[in-house]
Structure formats: structure tokens, C-alpha cells
Structure 1
Amino acid sequence: MEKRSNKYHLELKELSLKDGSGGTKTLEFDFENHDDIFQILDVIKSKNIFSNEQTAREFALGLKLFTEVMLKNKQHHLFEELRPSIMEFMKKLKSQ
């Protein structure tokens, strides 16, 4: 049975740099995630984990992108030490 996942398109656009110059770079890519990222964004926002909505969005998106890569590469040695801590972190986050 084929695993089904949600498909997304992300566009990242450099607006300005810390040296005061204007940004010129962009990055676009499609990706899949087993979770509904927009639902996760709503849940994180509703839990008021962060006082700033922008921070909540950055946190949720970054976490979902990172953990999906980790799930898809379970056996990669890079994640060996981190995996147990991330699992504990996710349990704590979901219990809030």
C-alpha cells in the first residue's frame, strides 16, 4: 500500500540583507509531509506557546520540515543521538 502524503510548494525570497543591501536570491521547491502543515500551524497558534504569531509560524514550519526529513532518513547516522531527544520533545509539545 502506497503511503499518502500532503504536497506543498515553498517559495523563499531574500528581501534584504544585514549589510543593508537588497536581497536577490530565491528558492522554490515542492515537498511532501505526512501531516497537514496548515492544521499544525493553527494548533501551534491556538496553544499560545509563543506570544508572537510570527515566531509560532517559524517554529511550526521549521519543526515540520526538519522532523519530516528525519523520519524519511531514520537510519541516517546523523540523527542517531538526536532522535530520542526529538521524540521526547514532540511528546512534550503535543501534551501542551
Structure 2
Amino acid sequence: MENENKRFNKYRIQLQEVQKKDGTLGDQLLEFEFENHDDIFTIVEVLKERKLFDGVDQTVEFAVGLKLFSEVMIRNRNHPLFEEFAPAFGQFMKKLKGGNK
């Protein structure tokens, strides 16, 4: 089992609710660890350089969200939920990696 983990980078995410849309202070905290086959920090830096979106924060949101989602999809590739979506996602990733805006 230890050899399996060497194929993955391990990360921890902490999501803190700062303010609710009604203006009240948030008080919730979500923290979890996960593994990913990619170096997410490198991906974030590459996408920042490409300036895909207005603002660095949007780029970071996109990169982290995409890597969280795609890793779950890869690990569950036979799940019926992804059946119709997988081909379109594959095309999307090719476009993203190709550098097209």
C-alpha cells in the first residue's frame, strides 16, 4: 500500500467561511486531505502565467477546483454519473492543455 501512495502528491485543503451573503460573519470550517497525481502548485503557476481569467484568484479557484473534480472523475471513471460527461471533459482538457483560450 505504501508504494501506491508514492504515485500521488498529498494535499490538505482548509476552507473557511468568512462572510455569508447576508453580510453576517461565517463560522464554518471544512478541512480535508486528498491525493492527486499532478503537482497542483505547478499547474496553478502555469495557469497564472497564461492569464486565462481576470484576476489571479479566479485562476487559482479554477485550477484547484478542476484538479479536485478531475481526480474524483478519474478514480470513478466507470460511475454512471460521468458516462455522458467524460468525452466532453476529455475534449475540454485537450483544449486547456493545448493553450487555446
- TM-score relative to the length of structure 1: 0.96
Flag structure 2 segments of 5+ consecutive residues without an equivalent. none
Tell me which of 53, 59, 70 is aligned to 2:62.
59
Aligned CA RMSD, in angstroms, stands at 1.1
CA deviation after TM superposition for structure 1 residue 20, in Å: 1.2
Q: Which runs of 5+ in 1 are unaligned?
A: none
Moved over 2 A (4+): none
- State how many pairs are aligned: 96
Match of 1:18 among 16, 21, 27: 21
Distance 2:10 2:87 in 1: 27
1:69-91: per-residue Cα shift (whole Å, max 9, x none)?
00010100000010000000000
Take 2:19 and 2:49, find their aligned partners in 1: how far apart are those partners?
A: 31
Structure 1 Cα separation of the partners of residues 72 and 9 of structure 2: 14
What TM-score do you get using the length of structure 2 for normalisation?
Answer: 0.91
